[in-house]
Structure 1
């Protein structure tokens, strides 16, 4: 068993659950109730659900990788590590581009995503 992959998978599952619950309440509901035109609103709603599925699938794959040595495990784990690192980078760039005070804490999703990347990467060593 690879404890690093297991920890990355559990962390990713927690991130996915936070995304589903808090994101639904704090992002999706206001978005759907907002004044955004119907087509972009529905596209953003679909994208939010796609990210939810993506996060849960990534968590499942990391947990599956942790259970035994599968062919290509390290390559898959590196791909997921980069995947979560890129998600973190996107949130960092969007946060820093905004004219906000304390931009790194205003959109703190990167703080949740980056540990998954690090744990998955360490698990390949």
Structure 2
């Protein structure tokens, strides 16, 4: 068993749960009740659900990799997931820092949840 990947998978499940609960309350509900035109509103809604699926599947993959006997695919898949979560982290940081808000790192704190998954996964892949 790979403890780093198991920790990453459990953390990723926590990220997915936070996304589903807090994201629905703080992002999806206000989006759907906004005056935005229906087509972009529904595209954003679909993208939110796509990210939900992505987060859950990534968590499942990490737990599977942690519990499976080390295979030739473990390293490449783990590095892919680590890069994936690092890319999400960087995306949130770039967008947050480019807006010019005071205390920007706390305005969109999603990066705080995403970065540990990337780091734990990288540790498990190494």
TM-score of the two chains, using structure 2 as the length reference: 0.97
**Alignment size in residue pairs:** 125
Aligned to 1:85: 86
Q: Helix, strand or coil for the counterpart of 2:100?
A: coil
Q: Whole-Å Cα distance in 1 between the matches of residues 72 and 25 of structure 2?
A: 40
Aligned to 2:35: 35
Aligned to 1:72: 73
Q: Whole-Å Cα distance in 2 between the matches of residues 124 and 71 of structure 1?
A: 11
Superposed CA deviations along residues 44-69 of structure 1, whole A, max 9, x for unmatched, are: 00000000000000000000000021
State the Cα RMSD in Å: 0.6
Q: 1:124: Cα distance to partner? A: 1.5
Q: 1:98: Cα distance to partner? A: 0.9
Q: Whole-Å Cα distance in 1 between the matches of residues 9 and 57 of structure 2?
A: 10
TM-score of the two chains, using structure 1 as the length reference: 0.98
Q: Whole-Å Cα distance in 1 between the matches of residues 8 and 29 of structure 2?
A: 29
Aligned to 1:61: 61
Q: Whole-Å Cα distance in 2 between the matches of residues 54 and 73 of structure 1?
A: 18
Q: Whole-Å Cα distance in 2 between the matches of residues 32 and 124 of structure 1?
A: 39
Gaps of 5+ in 2: none
Aligned to 2:48: 48
Q: 1:71: Cα distance to partner? A: 2.7
Q: Helix, strand or coil for the counterpart of 1:114?
A: helix
Q: Helix, strand or coil for the counterpart of 1:60?
A: helix
